[in-house]
């Protein structure tokens, strides 16, 4: 297979693309793959480190308010479409797939104009602007949440899940909480606001530590690398119990997740794909700072399936955090029920499903 993948800006678009590439190489080791990203997104650093051929385009997203900068955005988009056509003509792909982010808009649209087979993958419950735009042009649309189906032309949609889930589901973990000075036979809560941390989650967790220190269950609090010093300073006046561990980050998160009894965190598409692939009960605190509040829509998909509880950030404080964690950590049957429901939502073969859907598009099936 000759494949062009485009997706960028955030890890939520990049990591599913990388999971798909991994599956393509597994299924067809002789495949030629090219990744097209932007000069400004995280992909320009992440993708080349994986040894994947990479081309970059200078492009930016639209401002949602009236702005003269949007005229520049249109110009950059048209230029990127032109540059994409040159790259596509040289590479000669069998198919071009976009996983989101404004750069994929130019690349996939260019491929459509050149009569190349095209596909997009939407990771969220609420469809992004780029994928809304591309949906009228592409041959097939892969979705990770059933809630996205009604936002696309129904005849093009295929539920495949999030490819990142397959990576999480296939991890063989030898991890032990003893590495953190904790016990493997004690239920453990993981509080995690993302790789950069989340200020309100961190503040609430700090204020809750005196109560958490009295509990029989264990609490692992991940602050985010950039917020660790501030959190440690804030905790200096607290006497933490031996059941509490505070870390800036976890480098081997996929290996740790199978040992987690309950996770507290954001509701990004990649996080939810990993959580449901493993089957972990969750308390979700959607970020209110993302486009169109899409994390709340993501979280609602799990809440409606009784796989998670949700706390709106405006309602988050030490008391609501402790009460919600206690509600689940003091009820083993409820956690087991939610874990089972979570696993039903998960799609542990999502990357394979997406690969097979691409093959069907190439073969006109």
Tell me, what's the pLDDT at 68?
A: 55
Q: How many residues does the chain have?
A: 365
Region 247-275: what's the mean pLDDT? 93
Contact 270, 301 (CB under 8 A): no
The pLDDT of residue 99 is above 60: yes
Specify burial of residue 255 (Cβ count, 10 A radius: 0-12, 13-18, 19+).
middle
Tell me, what's the pLDDT at 69?
A: 64
Neighbours of 162 (CB within 10 A): 33
C-alpha–C-alpha distance, residues 52 and 7, integer Å: 14
The pLDDT of residue 61 is above 70: no
Every domain of the chain and the residues it spans: 2-165+348-362, 177-345
Let me know if domain 2-165+348-362 sits in CATH 3.40.50.2000. yes
- Residue 259 banded pLDDT, cuts 50, 70, 90: very high
The pLDDT of residue 60 is above 70: no
- Residue 76 banded pLDDT, cuts 50, 70, 90: confident
- Residue 11 banded pLDDT, cuts 50, 70, 90: confident
Nearest to 259 by CA among 317, 353, 177, 316: 177
The pLDDT of residue 279 is above 60: yes
Show the tokens assigned to 363. Answer: 């073969």
Tell me, what's the pLDDT at 295?
A: 94
Q: Do domains 2-165+348-362 and 177-345 have the same CATH topology?
A: yes
The answer to whether 38 is a known ligand-binding residue is no
> How much helix, strand and coil, in percent to the nearest 5, is found in the chain?
50, 15, 35
The answer to whether 95 is a known ligand-binding residue is no
Q: What is the 3-state secondary structure (H, E, C) of 91-104?
A: HCCCEEEECCCHHH
pLDDT by residue (tens digit) across 155-204?
A: 999 999 999 999 889 988 899 999 999 999 999 999 998 766 689 999 99
The answer to whether 27 is a known ligand-binding residue is no
Higher pLDDT, 107 or 72: 107
The topology under which CATH files domain 177-345 is Rossmann fold (3.40.50)
pLDDT by residue (tens digit) across 40-59?
A: 888 999 999 999 999 999 87
The answer to whether 51 is a known ligand-binding residue is no
CA dihedral 14, 144, 163, 154 (to 10 degrees): -100
| pTM, two decimal places | 0.86
Contact 332, 262 (CB under 8 A): no
Higher pLDDT, 72 or 318: 318
The answer to whether 223 is a known ligand-binding residue is no
The answer to whether 291 is a known ligand-binding residue is no
C-alpha–C-alpha distance, residues 363 and 1, integer Å: 12
The answer to whether 124 is a known ligand-binding residue is yes
């Amino acid at each position: 297979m000759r494949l062009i993948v485009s997706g960028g800006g955030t890890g939520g678009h990049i990591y599913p693309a990388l999971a798909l590439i991994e599956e393509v190489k597994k299924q067809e080791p002789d495949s030629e793959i090219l990744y097209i990203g932007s000069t400004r997104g995280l992909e320009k650093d992440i993708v080349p480190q994986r040894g994947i051929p990479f081309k970059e385009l200078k492009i930016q997203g639209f401002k949602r308010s009236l702005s003269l900068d949007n005229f520049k955005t249109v110009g950059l988009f048209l230029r990127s479409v032109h540059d994409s056509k040159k790259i596509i003509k040289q590479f000669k792909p069998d198919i071009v797939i976009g996983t989101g982010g404004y750069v994929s808009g130019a690349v996939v649209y260019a491929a459509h104009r050149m009569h190349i087979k095209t596909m997009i993958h939407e990771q969220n419950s609420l469809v992004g602007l780029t994928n809304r735009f591309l949906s009228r042009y592409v041959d097939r649309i892969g979705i990770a949440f059933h809630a996205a189906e009604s936002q696309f032309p129904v005849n093009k949609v295929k539920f495949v899940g999030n490819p990142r889930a397959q990576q999480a589901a296939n991890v063989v973990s030898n991890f032990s909480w003893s590495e953190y000075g904790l016990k493997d036979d004690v239920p453990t809560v993981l509080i995690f606001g993302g790789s950069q941390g989340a200020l309100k989650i961190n503040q609430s967790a700090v204020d809750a530590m005196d109560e958490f220190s009295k509990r029989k269950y264990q609490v692992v609090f991940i602050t985010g690398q950039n917020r660790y010093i501030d959190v440690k300073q804030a905790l200096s006046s607290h006497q933490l119990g031996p059941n509490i561990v505070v870390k800036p980050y976890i480098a081997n998160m996929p290996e740790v997740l199978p040992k987690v009894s309950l996770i507290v965190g954001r509701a990004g598409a990649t996080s939810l794909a990993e959580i449901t692939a493993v089957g972990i009960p969750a308390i979700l605190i959607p970020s209110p700072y993302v486009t169109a509040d899409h994390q709340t829509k993501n979280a609602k998909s799990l809440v409606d399936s009784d796989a998670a509880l949700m706390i709106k950030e405006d309602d988050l404080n030490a008391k609501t955090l402790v009460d919600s964690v206690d509600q689940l950590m003091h009820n083993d049957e409820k956690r087991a029920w939610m874990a089972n429901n979570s696993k039903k939502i998960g799609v542990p073969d999502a990357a394979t499903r997406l690969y097979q859907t691409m093959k069907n598009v190439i073969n006109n099936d």
